[in-house]
Homo-oligomer: A and B are copies of this chain.
Amino acid sequence: MVTLRKQYVVARQVYSEDSFAEDHEKICRVRKTILDHVKEYLTCDSKRAKNAVLALLPIIGWMKIYRVREWLLGDVVSGISTGLVAIMQGLAFSLLASLPPSYGLYTAFFPVLTYFFLGTSRHISVGSFPVLSLMVGAVVTRLVPEDRPPANITGFEGLTQDQQRVLVASSVTFLMGIFQLAMGVLQVGFVVVYLSDTLVSGFTTAAAIHILVSQLKFVLGLQVPGISGPLAIIYTLEKIFIQITSTNVCDLVMSIVIMVVVFIVKELNDRYKAKLPVPIPIEVFMTIITCGVSYGFSFETRYDVDVVGKMVSGYESPIAPSMEVFQESAMEAFPIAIVGFAVAFSVAKLYSIKHDYTIDGNQELIAFGVSNIFGASFRSFAASTALSRTAVQESSGGKTQVAGIISAMMAMIVTVALGFLLEPLPRSVLGALVIVNLKGMLIQFREIPYLWRRDKPECVVWMGTCLGAVLLGLDLGLAVGLGMELLTVVFRTQFPRCSVLANIPGTDLYRDHKDYLHIFEPKGVKIFRIPSPIFFANIEFFRDKLVEAVGFNPLRILRKRNKALGKINKLLQEKDGHITERGLADLFCQTTDKSCINVEELDLPTDLKGLPFRMDWKIELPTNISVPRVDLHSLILDFSAVSFLDISALKGLKTALKDFIRVGVDVYIVSCDAYILEKLHIFMFFDDDIVTSMFFPTLHDAMLQVLEKHKEDKSQGSLLADTKL
């Protein structure tokens, strides 16, 4: 099946970057400096001011286009369904935060109010998120442990243990809000890109394991004090297994039944998604049923089941955060702020793409910052969003944050009026509901073999993040994961495959000389491809590879030549009859004893001026002088994949190039990015040895230039230059 192929015909002059610049006029583009950007950023006119206000209050934007008749019904229905889920999750996740359940209802209420005005996402359901709750819980149990006296904080005086815990949780949330607000104001919302999918997957899997372990005590009906810090999970498991014999069978049986039922119904919901008008709200049913059963059979007194108990009815007065808690928990509040925002942003983005509107990362940071600060003042804990709840809000027809407000109202009703109905609810039921919802997170273990087959560094990051977060705790684990992830970027470019290229005969294409049978490698020319950016971590590697590729170390050659030159000069003096005893001693010294003292001089370019004849290192030297022959006359470095250079790389590169130039090898650099070439001037890369004329736009240009310069090898020149198909 031979098809007539199009011909590739090019005839132009050979360009170096210099001659190219001469022939082709470049537009002088004035690049903005940092100062210009700042100035522009600070310029203010009425339009900008209006836009800024609109950006700060996104509600103005969507309220104007709100279609009451079409959207309101959907929002109300969605708000009610989401509200039910939010109440359930609020109660359950407050156990993760080691707080009384009523504070979970606060978290489903207060942050929503401010997000309504400030948030750019129309679909996310603001409120508690299990991983965040757990991270707050780690701080709470560290500062107010169950089995030991609380940390030495003045604000704790005269408070009950629960009140102390609420103070810690709200202070951490306040601080988290400050961090988020600050990041939003500083416009650094882009930091979430550092949390790659792999990292987040490993991290959330570890969080699921933590959540599972933390809920075991409720499911088993055991009294296990919360433990925090590195290896906390091991100690917790140890404490659970020590008292496993005192398991409350009533709790355990009830939990298992609930888990099985909920699991099955959820699978059915998934399978018959298309046929069901709405998914069966099995969790709500189970809660109502167990509430009734527990009340009817007085589980609390008869089976000693731990129940939700007295709910705080209504709202409490706002509290000020504790500065001392700020100091104690600053290192933990920062990762909480990051994780909270990252989760909310990724969920918001998912739905913004689906429904084709834009969200603004920095405004989201501001919205969550303010919401958390506001919520914390009213004793709620860390708010973000949960994918499961947001999915309910969106799939049940929610169009805007009006649905969010309605769900908040539901939480308010329960707090103010219906809380007493939840009092007989066993805590083990909440624990079981939390555990059964971990399936989606735990299933991520499947990614390990997938990643291993495709990309090993990525798999290592996953496992490292997960193991780190499981063993060291979520905050340290996140730091470990981030460090590993950044390392992979460096690692991928640290040991790249350098290759020596060769011409594919009859074309202007160059490929790895080991890969192809029919190649053309002119004598005395080496083409070395640098396949990655050059920076501190790989500059030495490149220099070694380059020396390996050319087959000699130019510095060593240079020294040997300089030594030989010294000898030759002596020999010349000898011939001239000027030899003295002192001269002989000097000659002896130079070659043996003092050679290292003058070693710096040996690194200078060989000075051939004083010689009465033209020195050619390739010809035979006097028998007692040996200098290795250098067959290379041109070295071409392919810079096409060099996307940046740092200062270490520049220094190393400069030295390496100088060494080659000093032993008489012409160095050519080809396909260098225009922007990098510009930077090289700024970095003062050029001097007497290293000049701009060594830069060529393409490899073939440089090759033609080399062949032109070394025309003696006639056959080669013609072979390449006039290649025709």
Q: Are A704 and B8 in contact (CB under 8 A)?
A: yes
Q: Which of A1-57 contact B (CB under 8 A)?
A: 5-15, 19-20, 24-27, 29
Residues of chain B with a CB closer than 8 A to A487's CB: 486
Q: Of B486, B697, B722, which contacts A486 at CB under 8 A?
A: B486
Would you give the shortest CB distance from A90 to chain B, in whole angstroms?
Answer: 27
Given contacts A454-B682, A515-B26, A515-B29, contact A725 B13 (CB under 8 A): yes
Stretch from A110-118, A257-265, A292-300, A502-510 at the B interface:
A502-510
Q: Are A496 and B643 in contact (CB under 8 A)?
A: yes
Q: Of B70, B531, B537, B556, which contacts A673 at CB under 8 A?
A: B531
Q: Are A454 and B507 in contact (CB under 8 A)?
A: no
Residues of chain B with a CB closer than 8 A to A644's CB: 492-493, 532
Given contacts A487-B486, A489-B535, A674-B511, contact A648 B197 (CB under 8 A): yes
Q: Of B504, B540, B646, which contacts A193 at CB under 8 A?
A: B540
CB<8 Å pairs between A and B, sample of 25 = A5-B19, A8-B12, A10-B508, A11-B725, A12-B725, A15-B509, A24-B516, A25-B518, A26-B515, A70-B592, A193-B536, A196-B646, A197-B647, A198-B536, A354-B596, A356-B559, A451-B647, A455-B647, A457-B646, A493-B533, A511-B674, A512-B674, A531-B675, A640-B640, A643-B643
Would you give the shortest CB distance from A455 to chain B, in whole angstroms?
Answer: 5
Residues of chain B with a CB closer than 8 A to A536's CB: 193-194, 196-198, 485
Q: Are B9 and A11 in contact (CB under 8 A)?
A: yes
Residues of chain B with a CB closer than 8 A to A531's CB: 643, 673, 675
Question: Per-residue 0/1 for A552-565: is the Cβ within 8 Å of any B Cβ (1 yes, 0 no)?
Answer: 00011001000000
Decide if A705 is an interface residue (CB 8 Å cutoff): yes
Question: Per-residue 0/1 for A494-528: is the Cβ within 8 Å of any B Cβ (1 yes, 0 no)?
Answer: 10110000001011110110111110000000000
Q: Of B353, B514, B592, B723, which contacts A27 at CB under 8 A?
A: B514
Q: Of B354, B506, B517, B541, which contacts A25 at CB under 8 A?
A: B517
Q: Which of A6, A25, A705 has the most CB of B within 10 A?
A: A6
Q: Which of A562-586 contact B (CB under 8 A)?
A: none
Decide if A490 is an interface residue (CB 8 Å cutoff): yes
Q: Of B6, B488, B535, B705, which contacts A6 at CB under 8 A?
A: B705
Residues of chain B with a CB closer than 8 A to A423's CB: none
Residues of chain B with a CB closer than 8 A to A9's CB: 10-11, 721-723
Question: In the complex, A698→B556 CA distance in Å?
Answer: 39
Known: A13-B725, A486-B487, A640-B671. 16 other contacts (CB 8 A): A7-B11, A7-B12, A10-B10, A10-B508, A12-B725, A24-B504, A25-B516, A193-B538, A196-B536, A198-B536, A198-B647, A356-B556, A486-B486, A492-B533, A493-B644, A641-B641
Q: Are A646 and B724 in contact (CB under 8 A)?
A: no
Decide if A593 is an interface residue (CB 8 Å cutoff): yes
Residues of chain B with a CB closer than 8 A to A683's CB: 454-455
Residues of chain B with a CB closer than 8 A to A674's CB: 511-512, 515
Beta-carbon nearest neighbor of A537 in chain B: B193
Decide if A328 is an interface residue (CB 8 Å cutoff): no
Beta-carbon nearest neighbor of A682 in chain B: B454
Beta-carbon nearest neighbor of A25 in chain B: B517
Beta-carbon nearest neighbor of A724 in chain B: B11
Decide if A599 is an interface residue (CB 8 Å cutoff): yes
Q: Of B483, B496, B540, which contacts A483 at CB under 8 A?
A: B483
Question: In the complex, A597→B455 CA distance in Å?
Answer: 36
Beta-carbon nearest neighbor of A511 in chain B: B674
Residues of chain B with a CB closer than 8 A to A648's CB: 196-198
Residues of chain B with a CB closer than 8 A to A165's CB: none
Decide if A217 is an interface residue (CB 8 Å cutoff): no
Decide if A360 is an interface residue (CB 8 Å cutoff): no
Question: In the complex, A683→B536 CA distance in Å?
Answer: 29
Question: In the complex, A486→B535 CA distance in Å?
Answer: 11
Q: Are B355 and A599 in contact (CB under 8 A)?
A: yes
Decide if A666 is an interface residue (CB 8 Å cutoff): no
Q: Of B516, B533, B684, which contacts A532 at CB under 8 A?
A: B533
Would you give the shortest CB distance from A142 to chain B, in whole angstroms?
Answer: 19
Would you give the shortest CB distance from A396 to chain B, in whole angstroms?
Answer: 11
Q: Of B198, B537, B596, which contacts A194 at CB under 8 A?
A: B537
Question: In the complex, A471→B380 CA distance in Å?
Answer: 35
Given contacts A511-B674, A683-B454, contact A723 B641 (CB under 8 A): no
Would you give the shortest CB distance from A661 to chain B, in whole angstroms?
Answer: 18
Question: Per-residue 0/1 for A85-120: is the Cβ within 8 Å of any B Cβ (1 yes, 0 no)?
Answer: 000000000000000000000000000000000000
Question: In the complex, A464→B12 CA distance in Å?
Answer: 51
Residues of chain B with a CB closer than 8 A to A24's CB: 504, 516, 518
Question: In the complex, A447→B552 CA distance in Å?
Answer: 34
Residues of chain B with a CB closer than 8 A to A379's CB: none
Would you give the shortest CB distance from A247 to chain B, in whole angstroms?
Answer: 34
Q: Are A493 and B14 in contact (CB under 8 A)?
A: no
Beta-carbon nearest neighbor of A533 in chain B: B643
Question: Per-residue 0/1 for A57-81: is the Cβ within 8 Å of any B Cβ (1 yes, 0 no)?
Answer: 0000000000000100000000000
Beta-carbon nearest neighbor of A721 in chain B: B9
Instruction: List the 4 closest pairs (A to B, CB-CB), nearest first.
Output: A196-B536, A486-B486, A532-B643, A6-B14
Q: Are A516 and B701 in contact (CB under 8 A)?
A: no
Would you give the shortest CB distance from A372 to chain B, in whole angstroms?
Answer: 25
Q: Of B26, B508, B646, which contacts A455 at CB under 8 A?
A: B646
Decide if A389 is an interface residue (CB 8 Å cutoff): no
Q: Which of A492, A599, A647, A674 has the most CB of B within 10 A?
A: A647
